[in-house]
Amino acid sequence: MSSNNLTSGENQQERLNPYWLVGFTDGEGCFSISIFKNKTLKSGFQIFPEFVLTQSAKSLETLEKVQSFFGCGRIYENKRYDNHRESLYRYCVRNKTDLIEKICPFFNKYALLTAKKNDFELFKQGLEIINRGEHLTDKGFIKIQEIASKMNRKKPRN
């Protein structure tokens, strides 16, 4: 899986500096809570919290370093059909325990500096509701919907 395309600078960081990782996340990271209809579940919905960092194939090695730093998450290849030469790779943490015990404590300690901090705060609120099992109640589900709607906001499609 490793890419050899990266130029190795003499002063290249061997292990990730946590401030580099928080800056990289401010630039490129995404905290999201998605809600999908799923008829096989009692509630009829699946709630899907996720932390994602995306890079092109040439920077796959960087995502592998992030994966090794956090000690969790998986890297997925997304084939591209637009005008880019390379596949995209997505480093994703979806496991609730990893999100609560590894990802959140890191960004609690090393604060995000951009507005992504707001998404992270909402993400944590959502995770707490999920962790307490409250998303299975009507009230908790509505709360999750409200939180998800406030994150990564775009204008609603007409």
Contacts with a second copy by CB under 8 A lie at: 5-7, 9, 11-13, 16-29, 53, 55-56, 58-59, 62, 65, 83-85, 109-118, 121, 153-155, 157
Q: Mention every residue, 6+ apart, whose C-beta is less than 8 A from residue 136.
A: 42, 43
Q: Which is nearer to a second copy, 10 or 138 (CB)?
A: 10
Nearer Cβ to a second copy (52/136): 52
CB of 90 to a second copy, least distance (A): 14
Distances (CA, A) of 47 to 21, 85, 121, 138: 27, 33, 17, 13
Decide: residue 150, CB within 10 A, 0-12 exposed, 13-18 middle, 19+ buried. Answer: middle
CB of 22 to a second copy, least distance (A): 6
Residue 76 pairs with which residues in a beta bridge?
90
Q: Tell the smallest beta-carbon distance from residue 137 to a second copy (Å).
A: 28
